[in-house]
Amino acid sequence: MTGPAASQIEQVKKVLKLFTASSYITGIFLLLLMITWGIRRLPFLGFDLWLLGPNGFITFEQYGIEGEGLPEVGVNLTVAILIVHGWLYVLYLFADFRLWTLMRWSFFRFLIIAAGGVVPLLSFFTESYYAKLARKQLSEIEGQK
């Protein structure tokens, strides 16, 4: 029989909560990252989102070669979103790994879930599908007690 042992059910439920939260948060930051990356990289735009800069509370500042022309004060939100998403992805991978090991799923499932942190919108779908699958397997194990 595959799946967690009956003694691990409570642990899996806690991991499922972490997986769900990290999936949504990572997915949201990935969408923000894609938007700010698009604003920065598209030839006709070329701006960074800036917080508390010299031109206002939140502004778009022209992004030149090697960051030329960016303000010297304030916070570059484009870079901050990139960094935060990177660390959230680490948390997402940890939750994915814990869920995968406890549920004793195939390595392919681990890879599909892991891709959710780097493919826009995929984390929302993987969370929905695999959390539902895990809950179903848990309820079957609880029913066998």
Q: Which of 41-50, 63-72, 131-140 has the lowest mean pLDDT?
A: 63-72
Average the pLDDT over 71-98 and give the result.
Answer: 95
Mean pLDDT value across the chain: 92
Q: 3-state class of 27 per DSSP?
A: helix
Rounded to whole angstroms, the Cα distance separating 30 from 132 reads 23
Is the pTM higher than 0.85? The answer reads: yes
The residues facing 109 across adjacent strands are none
- Residues 130 and 114 sit within 8 Å (Cβ to Cβ): no
